[in-house]
Protein backbone atom coordinates (compact mmCIF):
# COMPACT_ATOMS: atom_id res chain seq x y z
CA UNK A 1 0.00 0.00 0.00
CA UNK A 2 2.75 2.43 0.89
CA UNK A 3 4.43 1.79 -2.48
CA UNK A 4 1.23 2.64 -4.30
CA UNK A 5 0.88 5.80 -2.26
CA UNK A 6 4.48 6.68 -3.09
CA UNK A 7 3.69 6.26 -6.80
CA UNK A 8 0.64 8.54 -6.46
CA UNK A 9 2.69 11.10 -4.55
CA UNK A 10 5.50 11.06 -7.13
CA UNK A 11 2.98 11.33 -9.96
CA UNK A 12 1.37 14.40 -8.42
CA UNK A 13 4.78 15.88 -7.72
CA UNK A 14 5.87 15.45 -11.34
CA UNK A 15 2.58 16.91 -12.60
CA UNK A 16 2.94 19.96 -10.37
CA UNK A 17 6.59 20.36 -11.38
CA UNK A 18 5.76 20.09 -15.09
CA UNK A 19 2.93 22.62 -14.87
CA UNK A 20 5.18 24.94 -12.89
CA UNK A 21 7.88 24.63 -15.54
CA UNK A 22 5.32 25.31 -18.24
CA UNK A 23 4.14 28.43 -16.43
CA UNK A 24 7.70 29.70 -16.07
CA UNK A 25 8.62 29.01 -19.70
CA UNK A 26 5.45 30.31 -21.33
CA UNK A 27 4.79 33.25 -18.98
CA UNK A 28 6.63 35.66 -21.24
CA UNK A 29 5.94 33.76 -24.45
CA UNK A 30 4.07 34.97 -27.50
CA UNK A 31 1.50 32.25 -27.13
CA UNK A 32 3.11 29.95 -29.67
CA UNK A 33 3.42 26.24 -29.00
CA UNK A 34 6.49 24.12 -28.36
CA UNK A 35 6.40 21.44 -31.03
CA UNK A 36 8.41 18.36 -30.24
CA UNK A 37 7.75 15.88 -33.02
CA UNK A 38 9.61 15.79 -36.28
CA UNK A 39 11.09 18.36 -38.59
CA UNK A 40 8.10 19.29 -40.72
CA UNK A 41 7.38 23.03 -41.09
CA UNK A 42 4.94 24.56 -38.62
CA UNK A 43 1.68 25.73 -40.21
CA UNK A 44 1.55 29.39 -41.11
CA UNK A 45 -0.76 31.28 -38.79
CA UNK A 46 -2.42 34.63 -39.43
CA UNK A 47 -0.09 36.31 -36.94
CA UNK A 48 3.07 36.38 -38.99
CA UNK A 49 3.09 39.85 -40.56
CA UNK A 50 5.71 42.27 -39.29
CA UNK A 51 7.67 42.06 -36.11
CA UNK A 52 5.05 43.30 -33.68
CA UNK A 53 4.40 41.06 -30.69
CA UNK A 54 1.83 38.32 -31.23
CA UNK A 55 -1.38 38.46 -29.17
CA UNK A 56 -1.14 36.26 -26.10
CA UNK A 57 -3.25 33.20 -26.80
CA UNK A 58 -2.18 29.65 -27.50
CA UNK A 59 -5.22 29.03 -29.71
CA UNK A 60 -4.24 30.59 -33.00
CA UNK A 61 -4.51 27.70 -35.38
CA UNK A 62 -8.16 27.65 -36.25
CA UNK A 63 -8.51 29.58 -39.46
CA UNK A 64 -10.25 32.90 -39.44
CA UNK A 65 -12.72 32.34 -36.62
CA UNK A 66 -12.57 34.85 -33.77
CA UNK A 67 -10.11 33.91 -31.04
CA UNK A 68 -11.85 33.03 -27.77
CA UNK A 69 -11.17 35.12 -24.72
CA UNK A 70 -8.81 33.10 -22.59
CA UNK A 71 -7.32 33.67 -19.18
CA UNK A 72 -3.80 33.82 -20.71
CA UNK B 1 5.10 27.04 -49.75
CA UNK B 2 8.26 26.32 -47.73
CA UNK B 3 11.67 27.05 -49.25
CA UNK B 4 14.19 24.45 -50.47
CA UNK B 5 16.12 24.55 -47.17
CA UNK B 6 12.98 23.67 -45.22
CA UNK B 7 12.26 20.79 -47.58
CA UNK B 8 15.86 19.59 -47.35
CA UNK B 9 15.83 19.48 -43.53
CA UNK B 10 12.41 17.87 -43.59
CA UNK B 11 13.51 15.03 -45.86
CA UNK B 12 16.73 14.55 -43.92
CA UNK B 13 14.53 14.15 -40.83
CA UNK B 14 12.32 11.56 -42.51
CA UNK B 15 15.39 9.64 -43.71
CA UNK B 16 16.83 9.66 -40.18
CA UNK B 17 13.54 8.33 -38.79
CA UNK B 18 13.65 5.52 -41.33
CA UNK B 19 17.29 4.93 -40.37
CA UNK B 20 16.30 4.39 -36.72
CA UNK B 21 13.89 1.61 -37.73
CA UNK B 22 16.40 0.00 -40.10
CA UNK B 23 19.19 0.12 -37.50
CA UNK B 24 16.92 -1.30 -34.79
CA UNK B 25 15.79 -4.13 -37.07
CA UNK B 26 19.32 -4.92 -38.26
CA UNK B 27 20.72 -4.97 -34.72
CA UNK B 28 17.80 -6.93 -33.27
CA UNK B 29 16.68 -4.14 -30.97
CA UNK B 30 13.24 -3.56 -32.47
CA UNK B 31 11.27 -5.65 -30.00
CA UNK B 32 13.43 -4.78 -27.01
CA UNK B 33 12.69 -1.07 -27.52
CA UNK B 34 9.31 -1.65 -29.12
CA UNK B 35 7.58 1.55 -27.99
CA UNK B 36 10.51 3.73 -29.04
CA UNK B 37 10.49 2.15 -32.48
CA UNK B 38 6.71 2.36 -32.78
CA UNK B 39 6.94 6.05 -31.94
CA UNK B 40 9.59 6.52 -34.62
CA UNK B 41 7.50 4.58 -37.16
CA UNK B 42 4.46 6.71 -36.28
CA UNK B 43 6.53 9.86 -36.61
CA UNK B 44 7.72 8.84 -40.05
CA UNK B 45 4.19 8.03 -41.24
CA UNK B 46 2.89 11.33 -39.87
CA UNK B 47 5.72 13.26 -41.56
CA UNK B 48 4.85 11.66 -44.89
CA UNK B 49 1.17 12.47 -44.30
CA UNK B 50 2.07 16.07 -43.50
CA UNK B 51 4.03 16.29 -46.73
CA UNK B 52 1.08 15.00 -48.72
CA UNK B 53 -1.35 17.42 -47.10
CA UNK B 54 1.03 20.37 -47.38
CA UNK B 55 1.65 19.77 -51.08
CA UNK B 56 -2.09 19.37 -51.67
CA UNK B 57 -3.52 22.24 -49.61
CA UNK B 58 -0.56 24.51 -48.77
CA UNK B 59 1.17 25.50 -45.54
CA UNK B 60 -1.38 28.14 -44.57
CA UNK B 61 -4.39 25.86 -45.07
CA UNK B 62 -6.69 24.82 -42.24
CA UNK B 63 -6.27 21.19 -43.33
CA UNK B 64 -2.54 21.28 -42.77
CA UNK B 65 -2.92 23.13 -39.45
CA UNK B 66 -5.48 20.65 -38.12
CA UNK B 67 -3.55 17.62 -39.31
CA UNK B 68 -0.30 19.03 -37.94
CA UNK B 69 -1.56 19.79 -34.44
CA UNK B 70 -3.81 16.73 -34.04
CA UNK B 71 -1.06 14.38 -35.22
CA UNK B 72 1.40 16.18 -32.96
CA UNK B 73 -0.84 15.48 -29.96
CA UNK B 74 -0.99 11.78 -30.84
CA UNK B 75 2.77 11.66 -31.33
CA UNK B 76 3.36 13.37 -27.99
CA UNK B 77 1.23 10.70 -26.30
CA UNK B 78 3.28 8.01 -28.11
CA UNK B 79 6.51 9.68 -27.02
CA UNK B 80 5.20 9.76 -23.46
CA UNK B 81 4.62 5.99 -23.52
CA UNK B 82 8.02 5.47 -25.14
CA UNK B 83 9.57 7.42 -22.28
CA UNK B 84 7.69 5.29 -19.76
CA UNK B 85 9.14 2.19 -21.43
CA UNK B 86 12.61 3.59 -20.73
CA UNK B 87 11.57 3.79 -17.06
CA UNK B 88 10.64 0.11 -17.24
CA UNK B 89 14.10 -0.69 -18.63
CA UNK B 90 15.91 1.29 -15.94
CA UNK B 91 13.84 -0.18 -13.09
CA UNK B 92 13.65 -3.69 -14.56
CA UNK B 93 15.93 -5.18 -11.89
CA UNK B 94 13.80 -3.72 -9.11
CA UNK B 95 10.70 -5.52 -10.47
CA UNK B 96 8.87 -2.21 -10.44
CA UNK B 97 7.18 -2.57 -13.81
CA UNK B 98 3.70 -2.66 -12.26
CA UNK B 99 4.33 0.60 -10.42
CA UNK B 100 5.80 2.25 -13.52
CA UNK B 101 2.67 1.33 -15.49
CA UNK B 102 0.44 2.59 -12.70
CA UNK B 103 2.36 5.86 -12.46
CA UNK B 104 2.32 6.31 -16.24
CA UNK B 105 -1.43 5.94 -16.52
CA UNK B 106 -2.06 8.06 -13.43
CA UNK B 107 0.14 10.86 -14.73
CA UNK B 108 -1.50 10.75 -18.16
CA UNK B 109 -4.95 10.88 -16.56
CA UNK B 110 -3.86 13.73 -14.30
CA UNK B 111 -2.44 15.70 -17.24
CA UNK B 112 -5.58 15.10 -19.29
CA UNK B 113 -7.78 16.19 -16.38
CA UNK B 114 -5.69 19.31 -15.86
CA UNK B 115 -5.80 20.13 -19.58
CA UNK B 116 -9.56 19.55 -19.63
CA UNK B 117 -10.05 21.81 -16.62
CA UNK B 118 -8.06 24.59 -18.33
CA UNK B 119 -9.88 24.20 -21.64
CA UNK B 120 -13.33 24.16 -20.02
CA UNK B 121 -12.76 27.82 -19.18
CA UNK B 122 -13.13 28.68 -22.88
CA UNK B 123 -16.30 27.96 -24.78
CA UNK B 124 -15.54 27.38 -28.47
CA UNK B 125 -13.71 24.54 -30.25
CA UNK B 126 -13.39 22.49 -27.11
CA UNK B 127 -11.80 19.42 -28.69
CA UNK B 128 -9.14 21.38 -30.62
CA UNK B 129 -8.21 23.40 -27.56
CA UNK B 130 -8.04 20.23 -25.49
CA UNK B 131 -5.74 18.56 -28.03
CA UNK B 132 -3.39 21.57 -28.06
CA UNK B 133 -3.39 21.92 -24.29
CA UNK B 134 -2.82 18.20 -23.70
CA UNK B 135 0.01 18.12 -26.23
CA UNK B 136 1.67 21.10 -24.62
CA UNK B 137 1.25 19.82 -21.06
CA UNK B 138 2.51 16.35 -21.97
CA UNK B 139 5.59 17.93 -23.51
CA UNK B 140 6.46 19.58 -20.20
CA UNK B 141 5.63 16.40 -18.28
CA UNK B 142 8.03 14.63 -20.65
CA UNK B 143 10.76 17.16 -19.90
CA UNK B 144 10.43 16.65 -16.14
CA UNK B 145 10.17 12.86 -16.50
CA UNK B 146 13.35 12.74 -18.57
CA UNK B 147 15.33 14.68 -15.98
CA UNK B 148 13.92 12.51 -13.19
CA UNK B 149 14.92 9.41 -15.16
CA UNK B 150 18.42 10.78 -15.68
CA UNK B 151 18.69 11.40 -11.93
CA UNK B 152 17.55 7.81 -11.31
CA UNK B 153 20.19 6.52 -13.76
CA UNK B 154 22.89 8.42 -11.89
CA UNK B 155 21.59 7.23 -8.52
CA UNK B 156 21.33 3.59 -9.58
CA UNK B 157 24.76 3.76 -11.28
CA UNK B 158 23.29 2.42 -14.49
CA UNK B 159 26.00 1.19 -16.88
CA UNK B 160 24.06 0.08 -19.98
CA UNK B 161 25.53 2.39 -22.60
CA UNK B 162 22.74 2.14 -25.14
CA UNK B 163 20.04 2.87 -22.56
CA UNK B 164 22.01 5.85 -21.25
CA UNK B 165 22.46 7.14 -24.80
CA UNK B 166 18.72 6.84 -25.50
CA UNK B 167 17.76 8.70 -22.31
CA UNK B 168 20.43 11.37 -22.67
CA UNK B 169 19.53 12.10 -26.27
CA UNK B 170 15.90 12.51 -25.26
CA UNK B 171 16.92 14.93 -22.51
CA UNK B 172 19.11 16.96 -24.89
CA UNK B 173 16.33 16.97 -27.50
CA UNK B 174 13.77 18.35 -25.04
CA UNK B 175 16.29 20.87 -23.71
CA UNK B 176 17.19 22.12 -27.20
CA UNK B 177 13.53 22.71 -28.04
CA UNK B 178 12.86 24.46 -24.73
CA UNK B 179 15.95 26.67 -25.15
CA UNK B 180 14.93 27.48 -28.71
CA UNK B 181 11.44 28.42 -27.54
CA UNK B 182 12.82 30.59 -24.74
CA UNK B 183 15.27 32.43 -27.05
CA UNK B 184 12.51 32.96 -29.63
CA UNK B 185 10.39 34.66 -26.99
CA UNK B 186 13.18 36.59 -25.32
CA UNK B 187 14.58 37.92 -28.60
CA UNK B 188 11.74 38.06 -31.17
CA UNK B 189 14.03 39.93 -33.59
CA UNK B 190 16.06 36.70 -33.92
CA UNK B 191 12.99 34.82 -35.13
CA UNK B 192 14.34 34.42 -38.66
CA UNK B 193 17.42 32.64 -37.29
CA UNK B 194 15.91 30.74 -34.38
CA UNK B 195 12.76 29.40 -36.07
CA UNK B 196 14.62 27.22 -38.63
CA UNK B 197 16.78 25.91 -35.79
CA UNK B 198 13.73 24.22 -34.26
CA UNK B 199 13.32 22.30 -37.49
CA UNK B 200 16.98 21.26 -37.45
CA UNK B 201 16.64 20.18 -33.81
CA UNK B 202 13.78 17.95 -34.93
CA UNK B 203 16.31 15.72 -36.66
CA UNK B 204 18.48 15.36 -33.54
CA UNK B 205 16.46 12.63 -31.84
CA UNK B 206 16.34 10.25 -34.85
CA UNK B 207 20.07 10.77 -35.49
CA UNK B 208 20.96 10.06 -31.85
CA UNK B 209 18.71 7.00 -31.64
CA UNK B 210 19.96 5.63 -34.97
CA UNK B 211 23.51 6.01 -33.65
CA UNK B 212 22.56 4.28 -30.39
CA UNK B 213 21.07 1.29 -32.21
CA UNK B 214 23.77 1.06 -34.87
CA UNK B 215 27.00 1.70 -32.97
CA UNK B 216 26.24 0.67 -29.39
CA UNK B 217 25.61 -3.04 -28.78
CA UNK B 218 23.15 -4.05 -26.08
CA UNK B 219 25.98 -5.63 -24.06
CA UNK B 220 28.09 -2.46 -24.02
CA UNK B 221 28.70 -1.14 -20.54
CA UNK B 222 30.19 2.09 -19.32
CA UNK B 223 33.35 1.54 -17.31
CA UNK B 224 32.62 2.37 -13.68
CA UNK B 225 34.56 5.24 -12.20
CA UNK B 226 37.80 4.30 -10.49
CA UNK B 227 37.49 3.58 -6.83
CA UNK B 228 38.70 6.36 -4.66
CA UNK B 229 41.82 5.47 -2.68
CA UNK B 230 41.41 6.61 0.85
CA UNK B 231 44.72 6.85 2.77
CA UNK B 232 44.67 5.24 6.17
Of the CA atoms within 13 Å of residue B135, those in its CB half-sphere come to 23
Binary contact (A34, B123; C-beta < 8 A): no
Domain limits for position B156: 4-215
Residue B207: pLDDT band (50, 70, 90) is very high
Looking at chain A, which residue has its C-alpha nearest residue B115? Answer: A19
Is residue B203 included in any domain, yes or no?
A: yes
Lowest mean pLDDT among A9-13, A56-60, B24-28: A56-60
* Number of domain units in chain B: 1
Task: Dump pLDDT digits (tens) for B120-153.
Answer: 886 567 888 888 888 889 999 999 999 999 999 9
How many angstroms separate the CA atoms of A18 and A24, rounded? Answer: 10
Kindly list the residues from chain B whose CB atom is less than 8 angstroms away from the CB atom of residue A42: 68, 198
Q: How many interchain CB pairs under 8 A, A with B?
A: 162
CATH code of B128's domain: 1.20.1070
Neighbours of B132 (CB within 10 A): 23
Is residue B222 included in any domain, yes or no?
A: no
Is residue B45 included in any domain, yes or no?
A: yes
**At B184, is the secondary structure helix, strand, or coil?**
helix
Binary contact (B99, A7; C-beta < 8 A): yes
Is residue B90 included in any domain, yes or no?
A: yes
Looking at chain A, which residue has its C-alpha nearest residue B203? Answer: A39
Is residue B232 included in any domain, yes or no?
A: no
Stretch B86-115: mean pLDDT, rounded? Answer: 90
How many angstroms separate the CA atoms of B161 and A49, rounded? Answer: 47
Residue A32 is classified by DSSP as: -
Is residue B156 included in any domain, yes or no?
A: yes
- List all residues 6 or more positions away from A25 whose beta carbon is below 8 Å from its beta carbon: A34, B140, B178, B181, B182
What's chain B's average pLDDT?
Answer: 88
CA distances from A43 to A4, A62, B68, B188 (A): 43, 11, 7, 18
Kindly list the residues from chain A whose CB atom is less than 8 angstroms away from the CB atom of residue B175: none
Nearest beta carbon to residue A28 from set B14, B177, B185? B185
**First-to-last C-alpha distance (Å) of chain A:** 40
From the CA atom positions of chain B, what is the Rg in Å?
20
pLDDT tops 90 at residue B183: no
| Nearest of B227, B157, B203 to residue B18 by alpha carbon | B203
Name the minimum distance, in Å, from the CA of A9 to any CA of chain B: 9
pLDDT of residue B86: 94
Looking at chain A, which residue has its C-alpha nearest residue B75? Answer: A37
Complex ipTM, two decimals?
0.77
Is residue B231 included in any domain, yes or no?
A: no
Is residue B162 included in any domain, yes or no?
A: yes
Name the minimum distance, in Å, from the CA of B110 to any CA of chain A: 7
pLDDT of residue B75: 92
The residues in B 186-215 lying below 8 A from A, measured between CB atoms, are 186, 188-189, 191, 198-200, 202-203
> Hey, is the C-beta of A55 within 8 angstroms of any chain B C-beta?
no
Amino acid sequence: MSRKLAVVFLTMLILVGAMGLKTVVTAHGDGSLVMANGSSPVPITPYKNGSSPVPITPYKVNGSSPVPITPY
Amino acid sequence: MPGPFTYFIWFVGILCEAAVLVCALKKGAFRRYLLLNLYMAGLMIVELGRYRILSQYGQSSAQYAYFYYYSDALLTICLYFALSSLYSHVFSEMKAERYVKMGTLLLLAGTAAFSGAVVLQSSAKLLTHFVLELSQNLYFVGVVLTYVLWAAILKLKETRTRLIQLVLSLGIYFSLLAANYAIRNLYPQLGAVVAPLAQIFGTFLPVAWAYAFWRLPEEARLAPARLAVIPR
